[in-house]
Amino acid sequence: MSAEVHAGGRHIVVGTASEIGEALAVRLLDRGAEVIGLDRRTSRASVSTGIDTDLSSEEQIDACLRRIDGTFDGLTYVATAPPNAEPDRIVTVNTLAMRHICESLYERLNPGASVTIVVSTAAIGWPARLAEIDEFLATDGIDDGRRWFADRGADLDAAPFAEEAATVYAQAMGLMLASLGLRINAVLCGPGPSTVPADDEASDFMRVLTPCGVADAIIALQSGASRWINGHALVVDGGVSGAALTGVIRTPRVRSFLGAPSLST
């Protein structure tokens, strides 16, 4: 892929202090793009503009968005609450804030722009909870979504449910965004070798999945060569999920997913 793909483009990356967000920002900057980064912490990447944002607060999100001028060629949401955070915070940051930011910015995306939602392969089980996810995504705004989860979430594990919901959102919005000349996809990044116990069958097959590897997949999705890839959930894990789903190996006993200890919210 040529460096000219993003030259002169403007991109918003939500979660630039995370390892994947930082790697993506560096790649975009190296290709001549302007990067507006949103995060609570300062990114090590020299983003064009960095804005401090608490993604658990709709008021702060809206104040942040008002500070951003102009139109954009790409939007990537890679911010995730730590898995040990309160369930309300997890579903707010991982799904509800993502939905709010995306729907606030669709009208400011240029024709051909790409939206990418980054989650983990914990989201791969979304079909089993599609009915609950549909109800959750039918809520109106962040507060309504929080109320739904407070009423219904007692039987749901917040972290995988939130990532499943984000994945369903990306797939469900594909045709609507296509009518606007835009695209949206989810990237489901898998665990690296250090997150799987050494005695797990999957550890023999794990490749070294780095933040740069995930960032490369996002860059590929945002390129013109991927213009027909829309409403898709792209698994980036070296083949482990496919092997587990088809029974070639047992489902890995994952301790944590790539980037979880250093996420930005």
Assess if residue 182 is contained within a domain. Answer: yes
Selected residue with higher pLDDT from 7 and 86: 86
Q: Give me the chain's average pLDDT, please.
A: 87
Assess if residue 19 is contained within a domain. Answer: yes
Is pLDDT of 228 > 90? yes
Number of domain units in the chain: 1
Selected residue with higher pLDDT from 73 and 2: 73
Nearest Cα to Cα of residue 218 among 172, 163, 158, 170: 170
Supply the pLDDT for residue 250: 74
Supply the pLDDT for residue 8: 78
Is pLDDT of 72 > 90? yes
Assess if residue 101 is contained within a domain. Answer: yes
Is pLDDT of 246 > 90? no
Supply the pLDDT for residue 167: 98
**What value, to the nearest 5°, has the Cα angle with vertex 51 and ends 176 and 16?**
70
Task: Give the Å distances, CA to CA, from 128 to 28, 43, 107, 133.
Answer: 36, 36, 33, 10
Assess if residue 67 is contained within a domain. Answer: yes
Would the pTM of this model clear 0.85, i.e. be above it?
A: yes
Assess if residue 229 is contained within a domain. Answer: yes
Question: CATH code at 144?
Answer: 3.40.50.720
Assess if residue 64 is contained within a domain. Answer: yes
Assess if residue 200 is contained within a domain. Answer: no
Domain residues for 159? 3-191+211-237
Convert the pLDDT of each residue in 36-54 to its tens digit.
999 988 888 889 899 998 9
Is pLDDT of 187 > 50? yes
Q: Give the C-alpha separation, 124 to 235, whole Å.
A: 9
Assess if residue 247 is contained within a domain. Answer: no
Is pLDDT of 132 > 60? yes
Is pLDDT of 253 > 60? no
Q: Give the C-alpha separation, 44 to 88, whole Å.
A: 29
Query: What is the residue-wise DSSP string for the chain?
Result: --GGGSTT-EEEEETTTSHHHHHHHHHHHHTT-EEEEEESS--SS--SEEEE--TT-HHHHHHHHHT--S-EEEEEE-----TTS-HHHHHIIIIIHHHHHHHHHGGGEEEEEEEEEEEEGGGGGGGGGHHHHHHHHTS-HHHHHHHHHHHHGGGS-HHHHHHHHHHHHHHHTHHHHHTTT-EEEEEEE---GGGS-TTSGGGGT-----HHHHHHHHHHHHSGGGTT--SEEEEESTTHHHHHHTTSSPPP--SS-TTGGG---
